[in-house]
Amino acid sequence: MYWHLDEDQRFLVEAARDYARAELIAKDRVWDATEQSLGDELPSLAEMGFMNMRVREEYGGLGCSMVVYSRILHELAYASPSVSVTLSVHNMVGEVLQKYGSEELRRQMLPDWGKAESLGTFAISEADAGSDPSSIQTRAELKGDYYVLDGAKMWITNALSGRWFMTLARTGEGKKGICAFWVDGNDPGVERLEIKGKTGIRGSETAALHYTQVKVPRAWLLGEDGQGLEIALAALDGGRIGIASQATGIMEACLDEMTSYAKQRVQFGHPIAERQAIQFMIADSAVELEAARALTLHAARLRDSGEPYTQAAAKAKLFASEAANRVAYRAVQVHGGAGYVNETRVERLARDARVTTIYEGTSEIQRVVIGRGLKG
Ligand SMILES: Cc1cc2nc3c(=O)[nH]c(=O)nc-3n(C[C@H](O)[C@H](O)[C@H](O)COP(=O)(O)OP(=O)(O)OC[C@H]3O[C@@H](n4cnc5c(N)ncnc54)[C@H](O)[C@@H]3O)c2cc1C
């Protein structure tokens, strides 16, 4: 399904698909089993252009449309949901810089954004501020030409190999007291504490961050003073299309795995695929995959055409993430006992799917966004 991609766009999506299926499936299995970061894969991902998808060509990026970007994240997630989320976060942060950074900061940072060493993080959540980012406590104080940041962030993706941390911190009280800063992860005041023991996406890095007197040049404030929350929420609208694409990639992998297993597994003298009960699980999964893709690409197209897409992105993320969990559940069910051990891919995919209803806004928060939009 190409959704009217031109030849160049189709080439990019097919390159992602070929590379992901040839290279990433086996590696993802190792990252999962050893809980090892996929950091060593970043140079290859950079070389393929995947770290520079949403940066405009004038700054050296690929300037991919949101539809193409979504299709590529889908193909990567098919093979490795960890790779997909790593790149979804990195590319989202690059877009924030491109939109809200000063021209000087953009000229300084964006030409290198496609390099492995430039990995970006989106440091919003804190131990006591998850669904409600307006309650963050990390502080920033202006001292001469620098802001000085103190506080702690939690659950930050890419925060071990990451270099540039888009960080929300408060300079005052209330929602308007929050600013977005461009933080150098190499500052001596930044401490990274790896979070181990995740259920899934175990190749993706997750860490807590401690900031002690971290210095940020005044010119590295993103947007206006007090615009931080608005910037973060706008970025998350796009990020949700990325997570929905990750979810559809997981669904397609589950569908392929369960279909092929059902055709070769024989019980009672027949392949289980001949049983209607099994066919129904496969059929329901195929329908949900198409519905999730249609919602995701619809949101991406709205964004590409400059129309409002907050609602569409929330609907796509809500449906795709919940459907991914249903499809992964069925994929395990079709595999029987074999689906319950890590010899089969569906066991891992089911664990990877779980987080998609949690990060970048839980399902409940997507419903809040959708309900608010309907209420007007
Ligand atoms: C692997 C992983 C990677 C992550 N990466 C990042 C990252 O890169 N950057 C970042 O900033 N954060 C990141 N997060 C954090 C993630 O965005 C939060 O976990 C998420 O927003 C939920 O916040 P919380 O965990 O504090 O749960 P809480 O906000 O405490 O929510 C707990 C439960 O209450 C529900 N709830 C809360 N408020 C409401 C409400 N108003 N109405 C109805 N129900 C409600 C929630 O839906 C949930 O079910 C990551 C999380 C994980 C697990």
* Alpha-carbon span 255 to 19, nearest angstrom: 20
Residue 2: pLDDT over 60 = no
Give the Å distance between the CA of 175 and the centre of ligand 1. 18
Q: What is the CATH number of domain 230-375?
A: 1.20.140.10
What's the mean pLDDT in 52-61?
96
Binding site membership of 209 for ligand 1 (Cβ less than 6 Å): no
DSSP assignment of 181-242 equals: EEEETTSTTEEEEE----SS-TTS-EEEEEEEEEEEEGGGEESSTT-HHHHHHHHHHHHHHH
CA distances from 181 to 176, 178, 298 (A): 15, 10, 31
CATH class of this structure's domain 7-118: mainly alpha
In the structure, what pLDDT confidence band is assigned to residue 1 with cuts at 50, 70 and 90?
Answer: low
Predicted confidence at residue 289, as pLDDT, reads 98
Q: How far is the CA of 308 from the centre of ligand 1 (A)?
A: 24
Establish whether 360 is a catalytic residue: yes
* Amino acid 249: pLDDT: 98
| Domains in the chain: boundaries | 7-118, 120-226, 230-375
Q: Which of 234, 214, 326, 248 is nearest to 280 (CA)?
A: 326
Quote the ligand 1 centre to 359 CA distance (angstroms).
6
Distances (CA, A) of 273 to 257, 270, 343: 12, 8, 21
- How large is the C-alpha radius of gyration of the chain? 21
The residue from 7, 205, 360, 364 that is catalytic is: 360
> Span 243-257, mean pLDDT?
98
Q: What is the pLDDT of residue 371?
A: 97
Q: What residue type is 178 in one-letter code?
A: I
Q: What's the pLDDT tens digit per position in 331-352?
A: 999 999 999 999 999 999 999 9
Q: Do residues 101 and 216 touch, judged by C-beta distance below 8 A?
A: no
Indicate the pLDDT class of residue 11, thresholds 50, 70 and 90: very high
Considering the domain delimited by 120-226, tell me its CATH architecture. Beta Barrel (2.40)
